[in-house]
Amino acid sequence: MSKKTTDQTSAQTAHTLSQALPYIQRYDGAIVVIKLGGHAMGSDAGMESFARDVVLMRQVGINPVIVNGGGPMINQMLDKLGIKSEFKNGKRITDHATMEIVEMVLSGSVNKRIVQAINRQGGMAVGLSGKDANLIISKQAEGDLGLVGAPTKVDPSVLHTLFQDDMIPVIAPLGAGENGETYNINGDTAAGAIAAALKADRLLLLTDVDGVRDASGEVMAELSAAQIEAMVEDGTIAGGMIPKTETALSAIRGGVRAAVILDGRTENACLLELFTKQGPGTIIRAS
Give me the mean pLDDT over the 5-14 stretch: 72
**Distance in angstroms (rounded) separating the CA atoms of residues 269 and 263:** 7
* pLDDT, tens digit, 9 for 90 and up, residues 40-96: 777 888 899 999 999 999 999 999 999 999 988 999 999 999 998 888 876 788 999
Whether the CB-CB separation of 65 and 32 falls below 8 Å is answered with: yes
- φ, ψ for residue 112, nearest 5 deg: -75, -25
- Give whole-number Cα distances, 141 to 39, 60, 155, 177, 184, in Å: 24, 39, 19, 11, 10
Give yes or no for residue 34 having a pLDDT over 80.
Answer: yes
Helix (H, G, I), strand (E, B) or coil at 120: helix
* pLDDT, tens digit, 9 for 90 and up, residues 115-129: 999 999 999 999 999
Q: Which of 254, 145, 101, 274 is nearest to 189 (CA)?
A: 254
What is the residue type of 240? G
What is the residue type of 158? V
Whole-number average pLDDT of the chain: 91
Q: What is the pLDDT of residue 5?
A: 58
Q: What is the pLDDT of residue 112?
A: 97
Q: Whole-prediction pTM value?
A: 0.93
* pLDDT, tens digit, 9 for 90 and up, residues 199-210: 999 999 998 888
**Which conformational region is residue 61 in: left (phi greater than 0), alpha (psi within -120 to 50 degrees), or beta?**
left
CATH of 26-285, one of 1.10.3720.10, 3.40.1160.10, 3.30.56.10, 3.40.920.10: 3.40.1160.10
Q: What is the pLDDT of residue 218?
A: 92
* pLDDT, tens digit, 9 for 90 and up, residues 217-248: 999 999 998 999 999 999 999 888 998 999 99
| Percent of the chain topping pLDDT 70 | 96
Whether the CB-CB separation of 65 and 160 falls below 8 Å is answered with: no
Helix (H, G, I), strand (E, B) or coil at 88: strand
Give the residue extent of every domain in the chain.
26-285
